[in-house]
Amino acid sequence: MGDPRKIRKKYQTPGHPWQRARIEEERTLMKEYGFKNKREIWKMNSFLRYAKAQAKTLVTRIDVQGERERNLLLSRLQRLGLLKTENSLDAILSITLRDVLERRLQTQVYRKMLASSVDQARQLITHQHIMIAGKTVDSPSYMVPVVEEASIVYHPYSSFANAEHPERVMLLASKKAKPPRPDNRETKKERGRFVGRRPSARSPKSNAPATK
């Protein structure tokens, strides 16, 4: 039967629960990348934190085992597309959380214009409409390797595999009309749409004292 193993969490929760900057950033990420809950953000953040901590540890090691672990870490991150130009431990420290989130299957499905939104991309994945390299993947947080990025397609038995599907027609029309929004898309407030709002038509209150 084997020895029972203790199930441990694969992520770390924030040290302080009430930090305004972190809460606002997590709210922005949930809307932009279509997360179901903040636990998924913490898992991705823990993955990045572990990779950076391992890189800091391996910098000081000069033995054979350290060199082997260094090569394994670099090859893994390079396989996931997190290291593109510079293949060194210093480059690992410059990886951001958004770089990790861009490698999720949910984000890749949306970037490849297989879905009209990140929420629809999550629905397609969980309902098993998406295949990668001939295999059905129903996990939105699956980290897509670079070699499998071009093999993300609709499942042949899915209704979306038909090019005449209404959603496919709408996606094709929107793709020709305008490109997908960039990664660093801004909100309406950040673009300053509300800065130039017309003044109200109400007459300003008089500063003169009221007469008895």
- DSSP lists the bridge partners of residue 130 as 154
pLDDT at 102 over 80: yes
Contacts of 155 (CB under 8 A, 6+ apart): 128, 129, 130, 131, 136, 161
Per-residue model confidence as pLDDT tens digits over 173-185: 887 776 555 455 5
pTM of the model: 0.78
Sketch out the chain's domains with CATH numbers.
10-103 (no CATH), 104-178 (3.10.290.10)
* pLDDT given for residue 135 in this prediction: 95
pLDDT at 21 over 50: yes
For the segment 115-124, the average pLDDT, to the nearest whole number, is: 95
Of residues 53 and 190, which shows the higher confidence score? 53
Confidence of residue 188 (pLDDT cuts 50, 70, 90): very low
Distances from the Cα of 103 to the Cα of 9, 110, 117, 162, 174, angstroms:
22, 11, 16, 27, 23
